[in-house]
Amino acid sequence: MSVANNNVPITPIVRVALAVPLCRLFDYRTPPEDTLTPEDIGRRVRVGFGKRSCIGVIVALADTSELPVEQLKPIEAVLRDTPALPADWFRLTEFCASYYQVPLGEVMLSTLPAGLRRVDPPKARVARRLSKPRVAQEAPELNDEQRQALEIIAAAGPGFHAYLLHGVTGSGKTEIYLRLIERALAAGHSALLLVPEINLTPQLEARVTARFPEAGLVGLHSELAEAARTRNWKAAHEGRARIVLGTRLAVFTPMPELGLIVVDEEHDASFKQQDGMRYSARDVAVFRAHQQGIPIVLGSATPSLESWANACDSSTPARYSLLSLTERAVIGARMPAVQRIDTRSEKLQDGFSGVLLRAIAGRLERGEQSLIFLNRRGYAPVLACAQCGWVSRCQRCAANLVLHLADGRLRCHHCGFESRVPRLCPTCGNQDIQPFGRGTQRLEAVLAERFPRARILRVDRDSARSRKQWEALLERIHAGEADILVGTQMLAKGHDFPRLTLVGVLGADAALFAADWRAPERLFAQLMQVAGRAGRADLPGEVLIQTQFPEHPLYAALVRHDYPAFAAALLEERRQAGFPPYAYQAMLRAEAPQMADAIAFLATARAWPRVAEHADVMLYDPVPMRLARRANLERAQLLAESLSRRALQAFLSEWNGALESIKAPSKLRWHLEVDPLEF
């Protein structure tokens, strides 16, 4: 702050970040009757922007502005209800703005709870105790592999270290997390534990709370009400909560004395944000650990190939230390036996092979649970007329409407459009319109008819729309109130059902030859995870996979539970093809009412005159997206690729500015995604 000749401080200019799609900060005058100091950098402020008021964050104080001081608006209010955001949070958001090519203000404000972004926040309530006083649950005995993993981490000492904890399902990865959290708390540090989905939080939250009842655990995820999320965020920011358990946005939570980050199920695609700032919470977590000089543990039974390459690729320096848990933690528990059922020779009955039906019947006789896995909800993928060829297509998307027979609706799983199920063919009046294919609702109906005395429980997005519904379903499963579970990927990971001994897999072949080159990796992870639900206690487990391609290498690796061999083969394929992790990509997408407008915008972007200056970057031709029409908008994309991350980032930094100057139709929208997962 500068000082005038009469020793009176000159009112500084306040640089504020706002949630607007402009790559710049905005200057304001200090509010009347208030004094700002460098300690106020990081505080939220209410400012006028255009004809409205909005919330921003103070980024800097300056003596001068590009505009005359008298033309600057004064800040309306400085909000001092929370401590100023810390310097490490600034560095983290600045990194994300630069790497993901998003305006800094949008990054900063998007990481804050909605209650702190509102101009008229609700009246704050008195915070309740974060946890009731209870006796901490005693830790179980560790096996040799668990002890060795903890000893390796302890021997590394303080500072940044990245560990890839590869443990088979049921190997006790969570216990490793809890022991590391215990060490962090004992050293006066706090811990951040990230999970990919809300559905994984209840069981894990219960275990963490039981072990650390006085640590002040808080959850941060989208199921929380706005007020609760704001309270929990404040508790973490102020240091009252020493453990934060949350989904991807929790990676930005400011935490004093942060000493450990854990990313559970690190391979899961849910860690990638698919709108707004399209960031990877796993990658941001690694950067945060590095910048703060603390250890990070990435855990999974089926690590992402990017993480596996960072730990195991001999052609590059190892960035992560590999920790392996090859046996199940429960004494007597073994990995389930995996069997392939050749559906080319096995006649199916309503989608089920005789082998699978007999296996289910055997479990019912013994009082054990079975899980039938099909990653397709609804009753059937499509309703069609065999007479004229009519198909239940979505009016707004290039997709079919899925039949949900339970509530008599046809529903689009992409845009949400729905309509009643017609009694007649809308085109020719044929009364004999039929569902084609199978979803979880249809499997539920078939099993109910074949096993009328069995208690069947369907678990998918339709039966568990909220956390409360999900917790009720879990309670019924653990209480033994279900004999047969019919579920999607919601049941594939992170759950421990001691009486579940059989997993039957239907409809997996579709992903073997999908257009997306990531599909085999996802399918293997999905099947390995769902197979791991069987036999987690002292009862032996069995997995039956119905397939027309039993000789496929992916299924052969599943039978052996051999993720390392499968990952090595897939990485070699990607190396030869020049795909990530051996190349770096960014995707420019455009959507407009007319496909021609979207393609024209991308073609103009590709023709940027300075492209030739970036010889290390390859721009492909613009093409329609796989789902070319969604919610009445035509969608197209253009891929940028380079063998150098640095070269790609240098190109994107210049190209992004050029994109903003392209004249386009008013209804056209575009975005740039770095490290895309969806193609």
Query: Among 538, 573, 608, which residue terminates a domain?
Result: 573
Please answer whether residues 473 and 404 qualify as being in contact, where contact means their C-beta atoms are separated by less than 8 angstroms. Answer: no
Please answer whether residues 545 and 508 qualify as being in contact, where contact means their C-beta atoms are separated by less than 8 angstroms. Answer: yes
Contacts with 209 (C-beta within 8 Å, 6 or more apart), sequence order: 131, 217
Same domain, 551 and 588: no
**pLDDT at residue number 494:** 66
- Assigned token pair, 247: 């989904």
- 434 domain residue, yes or no: no
**Of 414, 327, 371, nearest to 527 (Cα)?**
371
How many domains does one find in the chain? 4
Same domain, 550 and 658: no
Cα–Cα distance measured from residue 260 to residue 158, given in angstroms and rounded to the nearest whole number: 10
- Assigned token pair, 605: 């972007």
Same domain, 526 and 624: no
pTM: 0.93
pLDDT > 70? residue 9: no
DSSP per-residue codes, 135-179:
PPPPPPPP-HHHHHHHHHHHHH-SS-EEEEEEE-TTS-HHHHHHH
**Of 381, 442, 387, 384, nearest to 412 (Cα)?**
381
Q: Give the residue carrying structure tokens 């997005």.
A: 461
Same domain, 163 and 301: yes
The CATH number of whichever domain residue 56 belongs to comes to 3.40.1440.60
**Of 442, 459, 434, nearest to 379 (Cα)?**
442
Same domain, 566 and 591: no
Please answer whether residues 52 and 19 qualify as being in contact, where contact means their C-beta atoms are separated by less than 8 angstroms. Answer: no
- 414 domain residue, yes or no: no
* 472: helix, strand or coil: helix
pLDDT digits (tens, 9 = 90+) for 12-68: 899 999 999 988 999 999 988 888 999 999 999 999 999 999 999 999 999 889 989
Largest CA distance in the chain: 96
Beta-ladder partners of 339: 544
Task: Give the domain range for residue 185.
Answer: 144-325
Same domain, 194 and 294: yes
Write b or e for each residue in 41-50: b if 16 or more Cβ atoms lie within 10 A of its Cβ, otherwise e: bbbbbbbebe
pLDDT classification of 201: cutoffs 50, 70, 90 = confident
- 345 domain residue, yes or no: yes
Query: Among 86, 101, 117, which residue terminates a domain?
Result: 86
Cα–Cα distance measured from residue 105 to residue 65, given in angstroms and rounded to the nearest whole number: 18
* 511: helix, strand or coil: helix
Torsion of CA 210, 213, 215, 218, to 10 degrees: 70
Same domain, 548 and 670: no
Task: Decide: residue 132, CB within 10 A, 0-12 exposed, 13-18 middle, 19+ buried.
Answer: exposed
pLDDT > 90? residue 135: no
Cα–Cα distance measured from residue 44 to residue 29, given in angstroms and rounded to the nearest whole number: 15
Q: What percent of the chain is modeled with pLDDT above 70?
A: 96
Beta-ladder partners of 212: none
Cα–Cα distance measured from residue 14 to residue 76, given in angstroms and rounded to the nearest whole number: 12
Q: Where are the alpha helices (DSSP H) in 430-482?
A: 440-450, 467-478
- 131 domain residue, yes or no: no
- 126 domain residue, yes or no: no
Phi/psi for 166 (5° steps) reads: -95, 110
Cα–Cα distance measured from residue 322 to residue 505, given in angstroms and rounded to the nearest whole number: 30
* 140: helix, strand or coil: coil
For the beta carbon of residue 5, count every other beta carbon within 10 angstroms: 5
The CATH number of whichever domain residue 647 belongs to comes to 3.30.70.360
Same domain, 261 and 350: no
Same domain, 341 and 486: yes
pLDDT classification of 237: cutoffs 50, 70, 90 = very high
Please answer whether residues 669 and 660 qualify as being in contact, where contact means their C-beta atoms are separated by less than 8 angstroms. Answer: no
- 1 domain residue, yes or no: no
**Of 188, 178, 123, 180, nearest to 150 (Cα)?**
180
Beta-ladder partners of 323: 165
**pLDDT at residue number 124:** 57
pLDDT classification of 496: cutoffs 50, 70, 90 = confident
The distance from CA 558 to its chain's CA centroid, rounded to whole angstroms, is: 24
Contacts with 262 (C-beta within 8 Å, 6 or more apart), sequence order: 177, 180, 181, 191, 192, 193, 194, 296, 297, 299
Query: Among 517, 542, 573, which residue terminates a domain?
Result: 573
Please answer whether residues 308 and 164 qualify as being in contact, where contact means their C-beta atoms are separated by less than 8 angstroms. Answer: yes
pLDDT digits (tens, 9 = 90+) for 383-400: 999 999 999 999 999 999
- 29 domain residue, yes or no: yes
Phi/psi for 645 (5° steps) reads: -65, -40
Same domain, 342 and 475: yes
pLDDT > 70? residue 122: no
pLDDT digits (tens, 9 = 90+) for 534-565: 887 778 899 999 999 999 999 999 999 999 99
Which amino acid is residue 373, in one-letter code?
A: F
Phi/psi for 473 (5° steps) reads: -65, -45
- 45 domain residue, yes or no: yes
* 280: helix, strand or coil: strand
The CATH number of whichever domain residue 359 belongs to comes to 3.40.50.300
Phi/psi for 444 (5° steps) reads: -60, -45
**What average pLDDT does the chain have?**
92
Same domain, 455 and 518: yes
- The reply to whether omega before 581 is within 30° of 0 (cis) is yes
Same domain, 606 and 556: no
